[in-house]
Amino acid sequence: MGEILGIGMTHGPMFQFPDEHMADILRRDLTKKSVPQAMRDERNWPAPMRAEWGNDEGLAAARNHREVVVAQFRQIRSALMDFNPDFVLVWGDDQYENFREDVVPAFCVYMYDQLDCLPYANSPSMKAKSNVWNQPPDKLVKVQGHQEAAGFLTQELLSNDFDVAYAFKPHHHPSLAHAFMRTLVYTDYDQQGFPWPMIPFHVNCYGSAMLHRVPNAPSVAAFPSAPNPRRCYDLGKAVGDILRSSKYRAALIGSSSWSHAFLTPKNYGLYPDVETDRKRFGELKRGEQSRWRDLSLADLTDAGEHEMLNWICLAGAMEGRKADYAEMAETYIFNSTKVAAIFRP
């Protein structure tokens, strides 16, 4: 019989870059025409946001935010080392990277054998030109896949009426989209090496919100949505059931931050919906993450929690379990709420 370890974590870009750049996304978003003039004045921001920004444009807050989240990464690394899985499966989203106008699957299992990746490449959303590890941005790293397990899992899902797509090579993106690449980098934050094969499992978290943000997007009345939380939860539960009945020891990671500022119009695209994240976190702490199955896409999009669909897949796989480690790092100025969780067997 197989065994599974469950992990939830962030792949937010800011931890790859120096502290002085951690608020770059807010600086960028403050220049958008959609932001009312009054909200460009920090005196009109919520009090916690003003406190974080302080008199140093968030530099002290950045150091604290990094310390808290990197401690999460180290807890996760320790759990992975103790469990030593046969492979690590990562539910992650794609932001117009590998999937574009020609095909956007709801779910896709990547059956890659091995890829040359650029984990230290600069980010288009950040102004930094160097990373915290002083690694060259063009450094190639070989990422090993697990075709046997990926093929087995895909066949079992298809046999259980989950019509997932699968791919043996990248489509538009030459290696791995950022959700998967930064998950690998952050679980190896102390640069010890990532010794496990990875199975990236794409979830179309953004749905209609992605192509609406793309210049010259197709002119259609309505872009199709993301898969709903119920379907993501049920797919995750199926993955958990399949792997528990298999020969594999698998670590399953739901990778995303929660509410994102730029996805939350009610907050002018400047700060995340921290209140709703607190509610979701309370459910996680109490072992009530199965309630996420009953959320609607409208619930998630109103709170800017689009990417939580990755975590909802994880919640399905962990049905009946309570996390034995769960921490939340709140922020108003660093784009998104970061949560970490570990569900040990």
Q: What does the pLDDT look like over 274-322, one tens digit per residue?
A: 999 999 999 999 999 999 999 999 999 999 999 999 999 999 999 999 9
Q: In DSSP terms, which residues pair with 251 in a beta bridge?
A: 5, 88
Q: Kindly write down the DSSP assignment for every residue of 220-269, as one continuous string.
A: -S----PPPHHHHHHHHHHHHHHHHTSS-EEEEEEE--SSBGGG-GGGTT
User: Is the dihedral angle over the CA atoms 343, 232, 88, 13 positive or is it negative?
Assistant: negative
CATH number at residue 330: 3.40.830.10
Instruction: Give me the pLDDT at residue 216, please.
Output: 66
Per-residue pLDDT tens digits for 55-88: 999 999 999 999 999 999 999 999 999 999 999 9
The number of angstroms, rounded, from the C-alpha of 163 to the middle of its chain's C-alpha atoms is 22
**pLDDT score of 269 more than 70:** yes
Query: What is the number of domains present in the chain?
Result: 1
Instruction: Give me the pLDDT at residue 219, please.
Output: 59
Of the chain, the percentage scoring pLDDT greater than 70 comes to 97
**pLDDT score of 252 more than 90:** yes
Instruction: Give me the pLDDT at residue 195, please.
Output: 96
Per-residue pLDDT tens digits for 121-174: 999 889 999 999 999 999 999 999 999 999 999 999 999 999 999 999 999 998
Are 113 and 145 contacting, i.e. CB atoms less than 8 angstroms apart? Answer: yes
Structural domain that includes position 105: 3-343
